[in-house]
Structure 1
Amino acid sequence: MAYPDDLLAEGEQVVVHRRPHWKMLIGPVCVLLLVVAVASFLAALVSAQSWALWAWLALAVAGLALVGRFTAYPVVRWRTTHFVVTDRRVLVREGVFTRQGMDIPLRRISSVQFRQGMLERLLGSGTLVVESDSDESLEFDDVPGVRRVHAVLYDQVER
């Protein structure tokens, strides 16, 4: 999905657009599977009881609340997080109910680094470290294709 053009300055072009790596969704999917398994087991356990309808209703409400908080919310947060490199700046936008954003002009970037652990190398993700002229380093975790993003960002900074 392309980054919305109306959020870019006149003549600005997107060079790289990434969301956080999909590995962030492993936990929420595991929670979904666990909630469905436990709720199904408990629903089958109480099915012979006279109050089974009320138990099923309570299980459905509890299950929906857990899935909403620990699965749906992280998925929507992942979907609404953007890491964008344009020909002028680096943009980060995140948030579901309240949005946060940060822009770093390319001319202010003094160095670009990346880090990858063994698992991150296998999955093709990593941490991108951007240092600006103000000597503060900003770390962006779970960047997919971090080596490629690093190379592209370094090339844009050098231009």
Structure 2
Amino acid sequence: MPYPDKLLADDEEVVVHLHPHWATLFWPVVWLLVVVGAGSYTAALVPAGRQQGVLRMALLAVALLVLAVLVARPVLRWRTTHTVVTTSRLLVRSGVLTRRGRDVPLSRITDVSSRQTLGQRLLRSGTLTVETAGEGGALVLETVPDPNDLQALLTQVMDHEVDRLPEEDGSLATW
């Protein structure tokens, strides 16, 4: 799904739009399989009788509550977390009910660094730290897919942003 155009300036284009790495969905998928399997098995063990329907409904309610906490919440959090690099800024948006956002103009970025553990290197994920000039402080993006590629892309886009600044003859270089 493309990033909403209403958040972009007229001369701004999306370079890359990312969600957190897919590995953040590993445990929710495991919990989904465990809860559905255990719930089905337990429902089959409910003895026949007048209370069978009530007991199975209670079991279903507990299973749905567990699924909401262990599966739906992390999946929604993953789905509503966006890291967007445009031709002029870095946008970070997250949150389901309470939305948080931060926009960093590329001209304010002073340093971009990445960190990966061995496991993250195998999965091609990691942490990207973006240092900015000003009072906002560093922006730490965890579980980013391909952090080295994103670091290189940010550096490339920042170089193009510098090229777009007004030149001495008054014209603008193009992206």
The whole-number CA distance in structure 2 between the counterparts of 1:108 and 1:48 is 68
Once the two structures are superposed, residues 53-73 of structure 1 have per-residue CA deviations (whole angstroms, 9 ceiling, x without a partner) of 111000111111111122112
Deviations 1:24-62 (A, max 9, x none): 111111111111122112111113344211110001111
Q: Which residue of 1 aligns with 2:8?
A: 8
Q: Partners of 1:3 and 1:42 in 2: how far apart? A: 43
- TM-score, normalised relative to structure 2: 0.86
The Cα shift of 1:103 comes to 0.5
Please list, as runs of the form range in 1=range in 2, the aligned pairs for 1:116-135 lying within 5 A after superposition. Answer: 116-134=116-134
CA RMSD of aligned residues (A): 1.4
- 1:74 paired with 2:85, answer no
Structure of greater relative contact order (alpha carbons < 8 Å, 6+ residues apart): 1
Equivalence map 1:13-92=2 (5 Å):
13-92=13-92
CA distance in structure 2 between the partners assigned to 1:49 and 1:120 by the alignment? 52
Matches within 5 A, 1:76-115: 76-115=76-115
Give, as a single letter, the amino acid of the residue that structure 2 aligns with 1:140: L
The Cα offsets for residues 70-98 of structure 1, whole Å up to 9 and x where unpaired, read as 21121122111100011111000111112
Match of 2:154 in 1: 153
Structure 1 range deviating more: 36-45 or 144-153: 36-45
In the alignment, the residues of structure 2 paired with residue 3 and residue 13 of structure 1 have an alpha-carbon distance, to the nearest angstrom, of: 10
State the SS of the aligned residue for 1:37. Answer: helix
Give 1:134 shift: 3.1
Match of 1:139 in 2: 140
Cα distance in 2 for partners of 1:8, 1:148 equals 23
Distance between the aligned counterparts of 1:58 and 1:7, measured in 2? 45
SS at match of 1:128: strand
CA distance in 1, matches of 2:53, 2:69: 24
**CA distances 1:121-157 after superposition (whole Å, capped 9, x unpaired):** 1111111110011373221001112111110101122
Identity %: 47
Q: Which moved more, 1:85-94 or 1:127-136?
A: 127-136
Find the residue that maps to 2:75 and give its secondary structure.
helix
The number of equivalent residue pairs is: 159
Following the alignment from structure 1 to structure 2, what is the Cα–Cα distance between the partners of residues 133 and 100? Answer: 20
